[in-house]
Structure formats: structure tokens, C-alpha cells
A and B are shown apart, each in its own frame.
Chain A
């Protein structure tokens, strides 16, 4: 009883101390440091003609089902002293993730920390992650069918799949991919440019190729899962 009450009170304190994730204003959403931290409890969908800008120093607390689906212009502008952070409301729970899906304008992400998401994705979109830290996620970032994703000075630690890439072009410079279960997972036609030197000390494999590429199975896992969702 006492623990339940304490939990309810602590959640209420978190909720009251946070700014609700803002609704769109004339197609623009701006997250300001002065109003941080923000709280997102379920979904935020950025339309194709909308813009999301996040200022340096902003923290967003994500509920256990929260996701950002970014189909419009996205600029996340952290700095070395004031990074932007996405963290779970409850540190024992994960949240859904950030999904970059815009095909009309490239995304720009600088000094961002993504912590404890289930899966962050880049799907059909292109853009750049600079000085971004992926920590304690299940999929640090899954990049699929991306014409070009740039990874600059990014670090990945304690993710299950740090970087998972399928049929995309990646340009990586100065990566640090350490202490994950899998460092770099490649599936399908991947054009990997840059250096893999920083992909070391991962538990299972630093670089692993998909099951079809290794010739072990005829139907890759991603196809099984995709077939399942069709029914």
C-alpha cells in the first residue's frame, strides 16, 4: 500500500513537473529549453508538411508506449554542453522509439542522447546524426532503405543491436560502437562507406551479416516477420 502510494505520488510529481509535449502551431513544433523537461505519454506524428525543431538542452521524458513518427522536416540541435535527451519516464521501462520516415527533406540531428528505446529507425529517409549517443536501446538505430544516412562522431553502448542496416547507404566517420551485443548488423545490399575501426569489444559480434547473406537459411527473419504482419 505504502509503496503503491509512493509510486503514484512520484509519477504525479513527474507529470506536474513536466511540460506536455506541444501540439502543432501553424505546422511548426518547437521544443524550448526554458520549458524543458517535456513529457510525451503516447504518440506524436509529424505530418509531411510540418516542422519539428528541438533546441539545445531540451529533455523529453517518454512514457512506456511513446513514439515519435517524423514524416516532416526535423532539426534536433543539441550542443556539446547542452545535448538534447530522450529518456524514459520510468527508468525500469523502455519506450517505443523515434522513427525518421520523411522522404521530402533530410533530417538533421546534433548532440542527441537516445536512451532505453525499444527501436529507433530510419526508414526510406535520409539525413545526418552528429555526435549522437545511443545507449541501452534494443535497436540503437535500424536503418532501412535509406538513400544516405551519415553517422558522424556517434557512439553506441549497451544496445542489443547497435546499428542494424538493410538495403541502405551509410557513411560513418569516427564511430564508437562498444559493449553492445551486436555491433553492426548488415542485411541485403548495403553500401557501407567510411570506417569500421571503432566497432570493437561487442559481446557476440562486431560485424554480423544477415542469415541469407551467410547462406544458413532460405527465408530471412525479416521476411518471416513481414509475412506475419500481412495476416
Chain B
């Protein structure tokens, strides 16, 4: 296990590269979902305003 984490002495380059990439992947998922939730909230609010007598 330690051998795997050491990455033959390249741990300082390999793991940050994986960390940055997956941080960006997760950020993309969070931001896309947030954009949709925000747009749905906004659309609902407008519908509520439009349907007032």
C-alpha cells in the first residue's frame, strides 16, 4: 500500500494531478446541478407571479 502511495518517488506529481482533475470534475457536477436548481426556482417564481389574478 505504501509502495502504491509513493508512486516510485513521483507521488508529489502524480497525486496532485489526480486531485486537481477530480476536484474539477466534482466542481462541474456541483455547479451544473446548482445552475439547474437556480433556473427552476427562478422559473417557478415567475410562474407564480404570472398566475396571480
**Physical interaction between A and B:** no
